[in-house]
A and B are shown apart, each in its own frame.
Chain A
Amino acid sequence: MSPRSLVTASVIAFTAAVGWLGRPESAVAADPLAEYDVVYSVLLSPRCRNCHPAGNAPLQTDEGIPHAQNISRRSESNGLSCSTCHRETNGRLPHTPPGAPHWDLPPIATPMVFEGRTPRQLCEQLKDPVQTNGKDLEALAEHIAADPLVAWGWSPGPGRTLPPASHERTTEAIRAWVAGGAPCP
């Protein structure tokens, strides 16, 4: 290698290194499938899964047991809204009801089930506007980024575990997955 080309190579390498160091992690040609894995791991975590059950009853605890107070879509349709007990903020003491704005289950017409879904099944569900109640992928990413009920997952009150990735990282991951063409595993 000539000295000139050596210098050029060094400059390129240096520039690349500086550039790489100065840019956010996700923009480094993120692997959309790997990013989807992050999204999947979060959506299947107890904090998200418990309000996206396969049945009509919300779940509780990391184990995912049916709501101990016997609440379901049926109780809601009979006039007992979730916000009766789940207010806009968490109860301050252990074992008091958690809370966030518009605490609710997904509607029965579009139940958006996470519980028991394989990565591929959940991926296809996220991309199907019929199942997401008309939300396209950008709207979905925005929902993850900004919805206060989603944000509750990372401040769930005393005694509750957090999802495996931070809210910021999850937002980044879903955006990167969408930007990369939203491939399914």
Chain B
Amino acid sequence: MNPSRRDLLKFAGGLALAMHLPACGRSSGAPTGPGTSFEPNAWLRIFSDDRIVFVLDRVEMGQGTMTSHVMMLAEELEVDPQRMEVVLAPVDPAYGNPALGGAQFTAGSTSVEGSWDALRNAGATAREMLRRAAAAQWSVPLEECDARDGAIRHAKSRRTATYGALATAAAAFPVEAPRLKEPGEFRRIGTSIRRLDAPAKTNGSAVYGLDVKLPGLVAAVVMRPPARGARVASFDAAVARTRPGVLDVIPLPQGIAIVAATYWQARRASEDVRIAWEGGITGASSASMLPHYRDLSSRPGTELSARGDLDAELGRAVATLEATYEVPFLAHAALEPTNATAIVTGDRCEIWVPTQAPIAMQMVAAQVLGRPAPAIQVHTTMIGGAFGRRTQPDEVMDAVMIAQRIGKPVKVVWSREDEMANDYYRPMAVSFMRGGLDSTGALRAWLCRLAVQTGPLTPGIDTEALSDTLYAIPAMRIQGCVAESIVPGGAWRSVAQSSNTFFLEGFLDELAHLGGRDTLDFRRALLRDSPRPLAVLEMAASKAGWGSPLPAGMGRGIAQQTRAGSHCAMVVEAEVNGTDVRVRRVVAAIDCGLVIHPDLVRAQIEGSIVFGLGAALHQQITFQDGQVQQSNFDDFRLLRYHESPPIEVHVVENTERPTGCGEVGVPPVAPALCGAIFAASGRRIRRLPIREAMREAS
């Protein structure tokens, strides 16, 4: 009933991936309008009144797809991106993400890379069809027809026809595999145009899930158990039913729903519902789980990855070091509260939801209602932050179950407290590591034992950033020590790399120190076979003035990471005063191949740094008897203005294939900051969050 992310990916991977025009007459859910339209492919509609509509297949969750993806298509179509209207794609195989096995997911920093070929091809195909239509209409050679700014021009006869005027005719001129531009020919790609979503987001017209309005819409809250997985043994809603605005109180498998005219009425009435719960994950307590993880990581586990002869290299090492690193569970804590809106009538189910995975929402709703998936229409809205949480379907299950019961459109809204206690958490993990150095202080051997509960350990996913490290370590071994999976785990921004990079980069810092080597030099040597990440590391270090003196009490740390084909390195400068840590400056460098929109790249890395610093300094989710002990931003703190350092982001320019940058900036933040704390104070942080570790160590 609750398919995992991986199950969904597997399912979606089996879908046929259609990079073509949806079959004639099939409603793809894409917009229609006055006048005839030209639909050369799934992403583009050109209307005879010159409206040009782009169907965005990767959701806009602040990361900028609404701008970057329009640019990719518009570059080849030869249209000003600002002229294009953007609608979010319906669920359709045509909109599958090739970088995620064809699943219609926006995740894993894959949006640009996954759409790069398809969207440019879509734009170029349409442009060539329009050129051919013009050449035929004017009876002139094709090569004399130029596409520019939404029109075809024939210079010799001074004739011009807009794309709208040619739309009807163009459909008769199919084109296969048009030539795509070389990077030197780009006119728009590589420039920081105004974000297409900026006006709507600043004037309030943008519709997020929370903004959805429908005639007769009612509101619902769902009271969930204090301990995850518990069931309602009995409940008394007699008082709640008498409260203002209350329409119904409905028992659901996941809790008790209160339906009212407005959200606040439902929330207020929920205080009067008395519920006795039974069962749930009452065995989950951080106080016992953490020692258990430490114990697991202290003993050999399942071999997940190996290179070279570890035992021989460790035997020859002139210096060895052992350390255990730990990271807590984390919540996603996106700013837009979790919500979903649904209408379920006789044969119709429509859902409005800020989701990263419209296809998963469709599947889940189909399962809940026992209907075929195509009968479920999913409208993806703007998203106020996602970070992996919005691949999960819980709020959609709430909405369709309630909508089916009450026969009215309903919007389910979770409170911040609901969401903190019912998330799919970035898993807690403990890593025991052993390293061996030779007489020059170079790293020869590295053992890493990972205790983590994500269900069965999956080499390549749970060991990202460890088993696939680009560091040239002659001998290494990654072992997994599977902990029983009690707490629901999920994908958090940068997934397992958020933990694993902290383990490896932190440990490297210690090994460099043990061998008397500068931590940058130490990494430089290890990246000798990987020119792109090495260049990024050098760029971050030189821009930050690595090695130049700092005032007393301050220190610098450095860390780097590769994710989804992109490389990011950063230097953090921090000041330590007793147990107080202040981040004074962060300098980052990023190589994500050819840059579509430099300012979006900088914004992503800046955002990753702020996101990563908040997590590293403040955040943890802890359990007691199955209950989450944090509930809101007072005890699960985000980084605020008063703590935010100056940030510099340097973007490498090259013409490599463009790759994603939504996550790669997160993993290096915590280890670079911990390196800075060590340089400033001699204190080694091996456990997050930092502020708690600093207080405990004092």
Taking beta carbons and an 8 Å cutoff, which residues of A are in contact with B? 57, 60-61, 65-66, 68, 70, 93-95
Contacts and interface: CB of A to CB of B under 8 A. Distances in A.
Contacts of A93: 267, 271
Contacts of A70: 640-642
B416 interface: yes
A70 B640 CA distance: 8
What 3 pairs across the A-B complex have the smallest Cβ distances?
A95-B632, A66-B642, A70-B641
Given A60-B634, A61-B634, A95-B632, A66 B417 contact: no
A138 to B, nearest CB: 38
Contacts of A65: 637
B221 to A, nearest CB: 12
Contacts of B417: 94-95
A57 B642 contact: yes
B173 interface: no
B642 A95 contact: no
A68 B631 contact: no
Contacts of B631: 94-95
A36 B634 CA distance: 32
Contacts of B267: 93
A63 to B, nearest CB: 9
Contacts of B235: none
B633 interface: yes
B24 to A, nearest CB: 54
Contacts of A95: 416-417, 631-632, 634
A60 B417 CA distance: 19
B415 to A, nearest CB: 8
B interface bracket (residues with beta carbon within 8 Å of A)? 10 to 19
A6 to B, nearest CB: 61
Interface in B623-673: 631-634, 637-638, 640-642
A43 B15 CA distance: 66
A66 B638 CA distance: 12
Given A94-B417, A95-B416, A95-B417, A66 B640 contact: yes
B416 A68 contact: no
The residue in B631, B632, B640 that gathers the most chain A C-beta atoms within 10 A of its C-beta is: B640
Interface in B413-446: 416-417
Given A57-B642, A66-B642, A94 B632 contact: yes
B581 to A, nearest CB: 14
Nearest to A61: B634
A94 B634 CA distance: 11
Contacts of A57: 642
Interface of B: 267, 271, 416-417, 631-634, 637-638, 640-642
Contacts of B637: 65, 68
A70 to B, nearest CB: 5
A76 to B, nearest CB: 16
B406 to A, nearest CB: 25
A57 to B, nearest CB: 7
A59 B178 CA distance: 61
Given A70-B641, A95-B631, 17 more contacts: A57-B642, A60-B634, A61-B634, A65-B637, A66-B640, A68-B633, A68-B634, A68-B637, A68-B638, A70-B640, A93-B267, A93-B271, A94-B417, A94-B631, A94-B632, A95-B416, A95-B417
A68 to B, nearest CB: 6
Contacts of B641: 70
Contacts of B640: 66, 68, 70
Contacts of A61: 634
Nearest to A57: B642
Interface centre among B633, B637, B641, B642, by most chain A C-beta atoms within 10 angstroms, is: B642
Nearest to A72: B642
A141 to B, nearest CB: 33
B9 to A, nearest CB: 36
A94 B420 CA distance: 14
A36 to B, nearest CB: 28
23 contacts: A57-B642, A60-B634, A61-B634, A65-B637, A66-B640, A66-B642, A68-B633, A68-B634, A68-B637, A68-B638, A68-B640, A70-B640, A70-B641, A93-B267, A93-B271, A94-B417, A94-B631, A94-B632, A95-B416, A95-B417, A95-B631, A95-B632, A95-B634
A94 B637 CA distance: 16
Nearest to A69: B640
From A60, A65, A70, name the one whose CB has the most chain B CB atoms within 10 angstroms: A65
A85 to B, nearest CB: 14
A70 B416 CA distance: 19
B262 to A, nearest CB: 15
Contacts of B638: 68
A66 B633 CA distance: 13
A70 B632 CA distance: 16
Contacts of B634: 60-61, 68, 95
A68 B633 CA distance: 8
Nearest to B691: A63
A115 to B, nearest CB: 14
A70 B417 CA distance: 21
A95 B633 CA distance: 9
B691 to A, nearest CB: 10
Contacts of B633: 68
Nearest to A66: B642
A65 B634 CA distance: 9
Contacts of B632: 94-95
A94 B271 CA distance: 12
A32 to B, nearest CB: 34
Contacts of A94: 417, 631-632
Contacts of A68: 633-634, 637-638, 640
B644 to A, nearest CB: 11
Contacts of B642: 57, 66, 70
B396 to A, nearest CB: 26
B203 to A, nearest CB: 20
A57 B640 CA distance: 13
A66 B644 CA distance: 13
A60 B637 CA distance: 12
A116 to B, nearest CB: 13
A30 to B, nearest CB: 37
A65 B416 CA distance: 20
B20 to A, nearest CB: 50
A94 B631 CA distance: 9
A4 B267 CA distance: 77
Contacts of A60: 634
A95 B631 CA distance: 9
A93 B631 CA distance: 12
